[in-house]
Structures are given as structure tokens and as C-alpha cells.
Amino acid sequence: MRRTISTPGQTQALNEVALSGQERREQWTLLGLSTPAILVIAIVVLVPVGWLFYLSFVGSDGQFSLEHYKKMVEYKSYARVFMTTFQVSLLTTLICIVLGYPLAYFLAHLPGRWTGLFMLAVLLPFWTSLLVRTYAWLVLLQRKGLLNDLAMQIGLWDSPIKLVHNMTGTLIGMAHIMLPFLVLPLYGAMKKIEPDMMHAASNLGASPVRSFWNVYFPLSVSGLVAGALIVFVLCLGFYVTPAVLGGGRVVMVATQITAILEYQFDWGAASALGVVLLVATIGVLYLAGRFFKFDSALFGKG
Amino acid sequence: MSWWTQPATQTQITHGDRFWLYVTAAIIMLLLVIPTFIVVPMSFSDSQYLAFPPETWSVRWYEEYFESRKWMRATVTSVQIGVLTMLVATPLGTMAAYALFVSGHRAARAIFMLLITPMIVPVILIAIGAFYAFGRIGLNNSITGLVLAHTAMAAPLVMILITAALRSYDLNQERVARSLGASRVKAFFLVTLPQIKFSVVTAALLSFLTSFDEVIISIFISGGSNATLTKHMFAALRDFIDPTIAAISTIMVAVSTVLLLTTQFIGGKKP
Amino acid sequence: MDNTTALPISIRSLTKKYGDLFALKTVDLEIRSGEFLTLLGPSGSGKTTLLMAIAGFNRPDSGSIFFGDAEMVLTPPHKRDVGMVFQSYALFPHMSVAENVGFPLKLRGIAFAERKARVEEALETVQLSGLGERGIDQLSGGQRQRVALARAFVFRPRILLMDEPLSALDKKLREQMQIELKHIHRQLGVTTVYVTHDQREALTMSDRIAVINHGELAQVDTPEAIYNKPSNEFVADFIGESTMLPLTQDSAGRLTFGESVVASEAPDPSHNDWSLVIRPERLRVLAKDASAGDQHVMFSGTVTEAVFQGDTAFALVKLRGGATLTVRFGTGAVSEGSRLEAGQSVSVGLIREDLILIPRESA
């Protein structure tokens, strides 16, 4: 036990050392529970990505150099890859907004007992392997596939159209895979809108269309922005779907990174491209962070 | 047509007014679901070429799958890694989520952000990074390496699910249990865990699926006799269309559907 | 249950800071064995922090907490043997009523038969006999409260702590439970520390009240003393209704308000500035021709408002000095006060023995 001293602060107060020691131990024990997870993530993500970051600044002569980054500015092929990536991400996001908004609205306004059932339409694809879904689109969109057959039967077009191994196929597949990522946070935001708000608007004499655009839409916009940014960010680094449905014609950043490793085995160049991708992603997420709270929106599927 | 003219909301909009919304939503939902399930009828086709609907039915692609050493080997690997990932990621993520939630330490938020980096960093970057680093320490093409990498991908999901569960839980219950004589560890296992168990089960199933369905990291760091199902499938898709894939896909869809319905079911029972 | 299990609590220079803010500032408090002590204060005063420190959930920065002769400040909560009832009840929803109440017994390794008997006994004490098999979601708010209480005392703790346990109940049930809790406390004889922000609840239930403000004890005393002899402005203002009149000291050393001489000398000559605390129900309306006399301190003024409220009535009297007094009187019998009307001149008096003088804090 410690001495009791009438003026705490100047000298040690009663039990002060023992108490602060106990507090520190408890905090460390608690934080210690997260160390296994930190270790795994450090080994798999933090250290390797840091390593790549370092590699991206090492030139072919083994010295510090910006050559990999210079190449990206100078070579036209890189510019094309960045353009394609941006284009695919943006278009996919737009398609998702157009399809996702009415769907989320529909789901958010279902009577409670139906929600679970119709939600499955969003959750099932979300839980299903994207490789399987990409494969399904490959089959549906091919020259003799279901879509071409159907279109010709009802007379939309006469001869089979090339729907896959190009931009069209890539966008269709990507939109299908990304749609749940937009709908889930948007649905969450819409569920939080009080029906009373809409009643108030209509009681004040607003027409349904006006009260939608003046009241409902602005309230749902945070969820829409959240979903759209998640989709956009995921698109930026997407690999599987463009690789399969683009058939080598849609080269995005991720595809380019693997190509560099596969054909040139140039770790510096691949790393530099990866770093650019990471910076772009963090940049978009930073902007996103100013609009909405992350952890709640990211997994609003509760 | 009484339903048609009934108000759909309290603002006097009838179901009739909403007709186009219902049609649009129905079409979008079909577009979401059909490609997920189209592989099922395709897998029972007799044809080498993927026509739909199939002209003749057969189970030959299933026979091919079950008789192929390569596919069987890959399936065993994928299941093995999925189960191990589930067993590692669930306790790891739960522990971290609990610790960070309970500790009021100012570092807690920073650690949380650190732990969800695998969800922020593009997977392709994680894949080549792991490929590079694991190459140095001999973890490529090993079960350990794959479980480690998939755990890193699944743990953040577990953390987010468990944190959400803890948020809707009254932590005073744990305090009460401790005042009644339970140590902190006992209080967690006797009082907290039983009440977040549905989230823990969901997190475990999601961990399994995260690993089982993971493609990009597996393409890079798995290989040889430890190549995963997804790695072989991806290679097969890029090169030529092998109808065996339809059979495998059907099995994968079935696994996902069962797991999802399980979580929905236990979630529905939650008080 | 016997009284010997009760323990006194001794809190010595307990200090807790959050950043630069003191949640507890060198608090010293002796809680007697078996007494019902209430920590009363506004929200943010530190009363819950103090309770949580006693329970072991809030670690102070320094100080001591003794249960009897044992230093407890470093002991983890589960080894303090303290029963605790939370505001939210914190019942375990995955257990039945009996399992909830039996939980502390099970942890202590008490065999099934004895456990069952003691759970039944505890449920009987809180008047829930026969509800043991119910689920928590089948109980009303008041019943949940009782289960939480039974769970907190079933293992015969030496100390019982309660954090605003009645605040979630409606007014009628709350008043009923106050009496019942007091009764159960007498029956168990356990040292009880109770936290509330409701002064009426504190006055009703406590043996002693510790009024706490800004992390410091403002006054610790019996309910009567806290009400009748507040020792400072905060307590006078926080407990009960009161009007405070600033007094001036004249050349003869008398304390006066306007023309009224309140006291012939200051209660404590070392302090110059004093206030008079006036409880509305202590004021009497005096007959028109009354003179101050020795019995009363008299104030004269004009009635600005007369309000009838059923069992009581009150009038606002504006004094010539500018201050307004509230005069409250019963309506049981026709009294002088019940004939008051707005605009009327009136004299009100305060019996000298009822004077409450407190040192005025410099503004």
C-alpha cells in the first residue's frame, strides 16, 4: 500500500501506481486478443504490399528509380489500360445505379413478411461464386447462347450478335456481380427513412412525384453514394470477370498486372501499377469517407 | 381488381400506380437470379456444346467430374482449405472484434481500420504481394499459405459481423455476470457468446465460403497437387469451355444456397 | 437472513479523471454496515462513476476502497462479492427466470437441490413465486426488475449496489417498488448503495443520502438533515423547492433582508456573506395586523399569483426588495392562505427555529 498524501498530483497518491499498472495490463491483455489477427493480416497483406511498394521504386539496375512510374506516363499502352479501367468502372457503376435504385426501392417498401423472400434474389447471387456467375454469362451470351436464340426468335435481330469476349459482355457480367453491393447499402439507407416524412410531405400538398424528388431521394442519396462508391472501387481492381468475358480485349489494370508478371516477369513494373491502383482506391474511399460512415454502410446487410 | 386499387402506402398510392415499379423490380430480380441458376439445367445436358435448353439429358458431366483425379484432388484441397480457414478465421476475428469493442483504448479504432485493410486493398495486389512474399518463405503451393491468405480475407468479414452483433448487445450483461462471480472469460463464454452465436455461425459459414469461392489469390499462390477448384475452373474458362464446369458450378451453387438458407433460417429464429 | 454478512464500505481519497475533467475528486465516504445509502446528484455528477468504482467496473486513478478491513480497489469485480442491479436490468435473455437467479449460485458450485431451494426463496422474497420457468421475454417491466434484484442478492452478498434500478418503470409502479425495496433491504440487512437522480426517491428510501456534484460530495446526511439543514447552496437548491434570499450584514452584525432582521448574528463569524433558504411550505400567511414579534421573521409584499392545485395551493408573493417568494399551504382546512387573491398585500412569516442559513458562495 502507498503513502497517503494530501496533495495528489505533486506526489504519488494512494494506490496510484498499482492502479495505473493494473489498467495498463488490462488494456494490453485486451488489445493482445487482436494480435493473432493482426499477425495474419501483417504477413498476408501489410508486409507484402509494403514490399511491393518498395519494389516499385527499384529500377532494373537495383537502384532507387522512378522508371516504372515514368513508363506509365510515357507509354500509350498504359494510358489505354487506365482509360479502359476507368470506363468499365464508371459504366458498371451507372448500370448498377439505374437497375439498383428501383430494386432497392421495391425491397424497402415490401411488407415485412415478404422482405426475406425477395431479399434472397439479392443475397443468393451475393453468396454465389463469382466464377460460377461469370461462367453462366459466358454460356448465356455466346454466339449460340440463350440470349441470341431468344432475341432471334422474337425478331430483335436476324443473325447472332457477338455479345461476349468484348466490352458488352464484360459490362453485363460486372454489373450482375456488382449489383448486390449497390442494393444492400441503399436498401439499408431507404429502410431508415421514416414513412412519416413522406406523409408529412403529402399532407403539405406535395404530389407523389414531387415529394419523391424533394424528400425521399435526398434522404436516400447517402446510401446510393455509399453503394456506388463501393461498386466503383471494387471495379477498379477487378480481375476475373473482365479476364473471362472480355476475352483479352478488355484490358484493365488487374489484367495488365498479371500480364506483366506472366510475360515479362517484371516485379517492379507490376508493383508500380499495383501501387497506382491502391492509391486510386484509397483516394476514392477517402472521398467516400466524407459522405458516409464506412463500417456501417459496407456491411449493411445485417 | 380490388388489390389493384388498394393503397400501397399510406400516401394513397395504389398498387396500380406502382405497376411499373413491380414489373421493373421483377425483371431485375430475374436477371439477378437466372444466371445464378442457369448452370443447373446446363449441367444435365448430354451435348458437348452448351445449348439451352438441352436437347437430351444426362449426368455424364457429373460422371466426368467424379471420375477425374484432377477435379477430385482440387475439390478435396478446396474443402480442406475452406474448413481450416473457417476454423482459424472465426475465432481470430471474433477475438479481435470483442477486444476492440470492449477496450475503450484510443488505439482500438486504428487497429480496427488496420484489420479491415484486406477489404480495402485491391485483391489483385494482395495476390501478387502474397505470391512474392510467400515465394521467399516457401509458402507458395502449400496448404498453410492458402489458409493464411484466406484467413486474412475472411477475418475482416468475421470482425464486421461480430462487431455489429456486439453493438446490439447490452454489455451490462457481461458486467452483471462478473459482479455475480464470473471471471471475464467465464462471463464471455456463459453470457455473451450464447447471445451472439448466430452471428458467429454466420461468420463461420461466410469464412468457409470466402475461402471456397476465392479465385485470384488461389490462382497465384496455389498450384501443383494443392491447386484449388477455382484455380482449375478459371484456367478451364479461359482456355475452352468444358461442360464439366457446369456440373461443378451446380455443386458450388448448391453449397452456397444451402449455407445462405442456413444463415437466414437461424437468423429468423433470433429473438 | 442474518445481519452479520453486511460490511461497511470505506472510500478514501478516490480520484478519477477523464482527460482534464474530474469525475471523482478525492472522495472520502464512510458507508455504515447495513445502511441504505443513496448517491444523489444530477447527471454527470460522478455518482455512477463512484458506484462502478465500488463494483470494480471503473478503475479509479488513485484512492482506496475498503470492504470492512479488506482493501478492494485492486480486486477484480468477480471477487468482490457484490450484488449489482443495473438500470437496464441486464437479465440474460437466453436463460429462464430461475436460471438467471441461480446463475451466481451455479458459479459458486452450489449443488442443484440447495440451488433450487435458494432460488425459490429469493423469488418468494421479491414476490415472484412460481414464475421460475418463465422466459425473460414473458415478464413485465416490474417483474424483470424483481428478477434482477433476486439475482443480485440470492448469493448473500455483503454489499448490494443499484444503479437507478427504478427509472424505467412508470410512476405508480416506481413508488410501489420504492417501498418494497426498502422493505427487502430491512429484511436482508445488507449494506446497500443506491444511485438515483430523483431526489424524492432518495428522500423516500435512504437511511442517509450522499449528495454529489462535479465529482465531489456536497453533503452526506440523513434525509431529514439534508432537507432541513442543507449545508451549501447546491444542496439547498437541488433538494426540494426553495427560494434563496441574499442577506446583508448591518453595522451591528445583524443579518437582514430589506427591513426584515433575519438573525442577530452570523452563525459562523468567519464568513460574511449569508443566504436565507426558504422552503415554500414553511412560510405562514400572517394576519394583517400582525407584528413581527420574536417568533417570526416577517416579509411583506404583494400577491402576484394564487394557484389552487387540489391537495395544496400556492401563491407567489413579490417582496418590496424585489425577490419573489413562493408560499405553499395545504387545502385540508380553510386557512388564511386559501383566501389570497392576486393584487392583495400580504405579510408572510417564517418561524425563527426553521431558519436555514447557508454561506453564500462568491459568484
Interface pTM, i.e. ipTM: 0.87
Q: What is the mean pLDDT of chain B?
A: 88
Question: How many Cβ pairs closer than 8 A exist between chain B and C?
Answer: 68
* C301-345 residue pLDDT tens: 889 988 888 888 888 999 887 888 888 887 766 555 567 788 888
Note the pLDDT of residue B91. 97
Highest mean pLDDT among C86-100, C275-289, C302-316: C86-100
Note the pLDDT of residue B2. 65
Higher pLDDT pick, C270 / B59: B59
CATH code of residue B76: 1.10.3720.10
**Of C235, C233, C261, which Cα lies nearest the Cα of C247?**
C261
- Tell me if C156 sits within 8 A of C1, measured CB to CB: yes
Res A3 pLDDT > 60? no
**Of C53, C303, C16, which Cα lies nearest the Cα of C159?**
C53
Structural domain contains residue B251: no
Note the pLDDT of residue A8. 45
Binary contact (A19, C71; C-beta < 8 A): no
Hey, which residues 137-166 in chain C have their CB within 8 Å of chain B? 137, 151-152, 155, 161
CA dist., res. A55 & res. C10, Å (int):
64
Structural domain contains residue B58: no
Note the pLDDT of residue A96. 96
Tell me, yes or no, whether B15 and B138 share the same domain. Answer: no
Which CATH class name applies to C241-359?
Answer: mainly beta
CA B226 to chain centre: 21
Res B43 pLDDT > 70? yes
Q: Does C107 touch chain B (CB under 8 A)?
A: yes
Mean pLDDT (whole number) for C150-154: 94
Structural domain contains residue B254: no
Higher pLDDT pick, C97 / A147: C97
DSSP string, B198-259: HHHHHHHHHHHHHHHH--HHHHHH--GGG--HHHHHHHHHHH---THHHHHHHHHHHHHHHH
- Tell me if C56 sits within 8 A of C77, measured CB to CB: yes
The alpha carbon dihedral of B126, B128, B134, B136 has a sign of negative
Positions of E strands within A17-101: none
Tell me, yes or no, whether B24 and B156 share the same domain. Answer: no
Tell me, yes or no, whether B80 and B214 share the same domain. Answer: yes
**Per-residue cell: B104:** 475503450
Binary contact (B124, A118; C-beta < 8 A): no
Domain membership of residue B137 as a residue range = 68-239
**Right CATH for C3-237 from 3.30.70.80, 2.60.40.10, 3.20.20.60, 3.40.50.300:** 3.40.50.300
Mean pLDDT (whole number) for A75-94: 93
- Residues with Cβ within 8 Å of residue C37, at least 6 apart in sequence: C31, C191, C192, C193, C194, C206, C207, C208, C209, C210
Note the pLDDT of residue A9. 46
Mean pLDDT (whole number) for B211-233: 92
Tell me, yes or no, whether B123 and B163 share the same domain. Answer: yes
Tell me, yes or no, whether B118 and B221 share the same domain. Answer: yes
> Which residues does chain A have within 8 Å of residue C74's beta carbon, measured at their own beta carbons?
15, 18-19, 22
Tell me, yes or no, whether B146 and B47 share the same domain. Answer: no
Considering CB atoms only, which of A4, A13, A19 is closest to C74?
Answer: A19
Res B14 pLDDT > 90? no
* C94-137 residue pLDDT tens: 999 999 999 999 999 999 999 999 999 999 999 999 899 999 99
Tell me, yes or no, whether B45 and B72 share the same domain. Answer: no
| Start and end residues for every CATH 2.40.50.100 domain found in chain C | 241-359
Q: Does C324 touch chain B (CB under 8 A)?
A: no
Least-confidence region, from A190-204, A251-265, B156-170:
A190-204
Note the pLDDT of residue A291. 61
Binary contact (B180, C155; C-beta < 8 A): yes
Tell me, yes or no, whether B36 and B163 share the same domain. Answer: no
Mean pLDDT (whole number) for C254-283: 83
* Neighbors of chain A with 3 or more C-beta pairs under 8 Å: B, C
CA dist., res. B120 & res. B129, Å (int):
15
Tell me, yes or no, whether B178 and B107 share the same domain. Answer: yes
Hey, which residues 57-96 in chain A have their CB within 8 Å of chain B? none
Considering CB atoms only, which of A1, A4, A19 is closest to C13?
Answer: A4
> Which residues does chain C have within 8 Å of residue B178's beta carbon, measured at their own beta carbons?
56-57, 76-78
Least-confidence region, from A156-165, B195-204, C40-49, C102-111:
A156-165
Note the pLDDT of residue C2. 43
Domain count, chain B: 2
Q: What is the mean pLDDT of chain C?
A: 88
Least-confidence region, from A200-204, B65-69, C9-13:
A200-204
Tell me, yes or no, whether B103 and B129 share the same domain. Answer: yes
Structural domain contains residue B60: no
Q: Which residue is it, cell 505533486?
A: A10
Question: Is residue B124 helix, strand or coil?
Answer: helix
- Residues with Cβ within 8 Å of residue C56, at least 6 apart in sequence: B178, B179, C72, C75, C76, C77, C80, C82
Binary contact (C74, A23; C-beta < 8 A): no
Tell me, yes or no, whether B8 and B91 share the same domain. Answer: no
Mean pLDDT (whole number) for C84-90: 92
Chain B: residue whose CA lies nearest to A147:
B52
Binary contact (B25, A99; C-beta < 8 A): no
